[in-house]
């Protein structure tokens, strides 16, 4: 049966009101989820301050409560929601590049209702089952923290398979995810340098094994085979590229500002590259689930706070103050 339930409405200027919201029955190929958890992301900032017609939240995990015709996921299974409702038929999708779909049906939490509400309607194709052994809070790690960071490392390996040192600009959730992913995928002996304007985040990254750098007082960054920018800031990207060694690369993960290049000294002479890395492919979630199960204690360190949806405004303010890692907003199971 269709459901009307209280969901947060992002009014803009940091104001969130809870109002009645209608959720229809799932149609062919669709699932209705009862959301259990949704992680806050830096890209929620625009909706928080500018408002949103849709219920935001693009890092959701929940349980199937109703299934439409033609679906196979059983009611009661838990899973995570892939942000991009990819078509599955275009050239990109046929190659597995679902993060580059040419005919997306939706971006969940942006164009269609997302995971800060009590329910979420999704196509089964962008729902990833995880099983009962993984909590909803942990399942959110499969998205931006593990998915985006793992994909970025894969992009880096296209340029250089022998990565012996890493620099990360930004110690927010994506930066912390990159740090933890480097530790697991490249080995604990690979030095990781990480910078952030937030002293809290620098200190926390240091506790996780990085060498923290204060960009406001450091004149030059250490040389690194590979640099990742999770900030989206032009100055951070420029500094990151400057520290990359010969035959290395800058992987741009954070959306945002520009990057100015002097092609001969920046790219040609050192044979360096600049690559973009957009989210991740749906097919990568299976490998990341195995990694999460094998190293749950490590990956869960990216989450520093869990807060109930009733405290959503407080959670947003805390997160945007730069005093947290990943903040996960939870829903009452009732």
pLDDT value at residue 264: 98
Examine the pLDDT at 76 and tell me if it is beyond 90. yes
b/e map 51-90, b = 16+ CB within 10 Å: ebebbbbbbbbbbbebbbeebeeeeebbbbbbbbbbbeeb
Round the average pLDDT of the chain to a whole number and report it: 96
Query: Domains of the chain: which residue ranges?
Result: 3-140+303-330, 146-276
272-308 confidence digits (pLDDT tens): 999 999 999 999 999 999 999 999 999 999 999 999 9
The fourth-level CATH superfamily of domain 3-140+303-330 is Medium-chain alcohol dehydrogenases, catalytic domain (3.90.180.10)
Q: Is-same-fold flag (3-140+303-330; 146-276)?
A: no
**Calpha distance 246→35 (Å, rounded):** 46
Asked if 38 contacts 59 with a C-beta cutoff of 8 angstroms, the reply is yes
pLDDT value at residue 247: 98
Read off the pLDDT of each residue in 36-55 and give the average, rounded to a whole number.
97
pLDDT value at residue 333: 67
243-255 confidence digits (pLDDT tens): 999 999 999 999 9
Examine the pLDDT at 87 and tell me if it is beyond 90. yes
Topology at the third CATH level for domain 146-276: Rossmann fold (3.40.50)
DSSP 154-176: HHHHHH-S----EEEE--SHHHH
**Calpha distance 70→195 (Å, rounded):** 48
What pTM, to 2 d.p., does this model score? 0.96
Instruction: Quote the longest CA-to-CA distance of the chain.
Output: 64
Q: Could you tell me what percent of the chain has a pLDDT over 90?
A: 96
């Amino acid at each position: 049966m269709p459901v009307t339930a209280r969901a947060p409405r992002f009014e803009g200027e940091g104001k969130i009101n809870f109002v009645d919201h209608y959720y229809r029955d799932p149609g062919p190929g669709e699932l209705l989820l009862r959301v259990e958890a949704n992680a806050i992301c830096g890209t929620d900032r625009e909706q928080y301050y500018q408002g949103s017609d849709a219920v935001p939240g693009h890092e959701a995990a929940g349980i199937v409560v109703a299934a439409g015709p033609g679906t196979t996921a059983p009611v009661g299974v838990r899973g995570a929601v892939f942000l991009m409702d990819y078509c599955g038929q275009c050239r990109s999708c046929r190659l597995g590049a679902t993060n580059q779909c040419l005919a997306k049906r939706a971006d969940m939490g942006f164009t269609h209702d997302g995971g800060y509400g009590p329910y979420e309607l999704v196509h089964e194709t962008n729902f990833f089952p995880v099983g009962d052994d993984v909590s909803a809070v942990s399942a959110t790690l499969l998205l931006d923290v593990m998915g985006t960071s793992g994909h970025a490392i894969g992009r880096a390996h296209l340029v250089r398979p022998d990565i012996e040192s890493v620099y990360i600009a930004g110690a927010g959730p994506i930066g912390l995810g990159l740090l933890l992913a480097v530790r697991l995928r490249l080995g604990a002996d690979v030095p990781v340098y990480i910078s952030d304007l937030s002293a809290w985040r620098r200190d926390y990254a240091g506790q996780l094994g990085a060498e923290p750098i204060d960009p406001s007082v450091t004149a030059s960054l250490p040389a690194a085979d590979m640099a990742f920018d999770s900030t989206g800031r032009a100055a951070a990207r420029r500094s990151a590229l400057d520290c990359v060694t010969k035959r290395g690369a800058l992987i741009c993960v954070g959306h945002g500002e520009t990057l100015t290049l002097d092609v001969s000294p920046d790219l040609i002479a050192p044979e360096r590259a600049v690559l973009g890395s957009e989210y991740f492919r749906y097919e990568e979630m299976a490998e990341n689930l195995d990694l999460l199960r094998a190293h749950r204690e490590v990956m869960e360190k990216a989450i520093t706070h869990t807060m109930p949806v009733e405290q959503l405004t407080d959670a947003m303010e805390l997160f945007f103050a730069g005093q947290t890692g990943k903040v996960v907003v939870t829903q009452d199971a009732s």
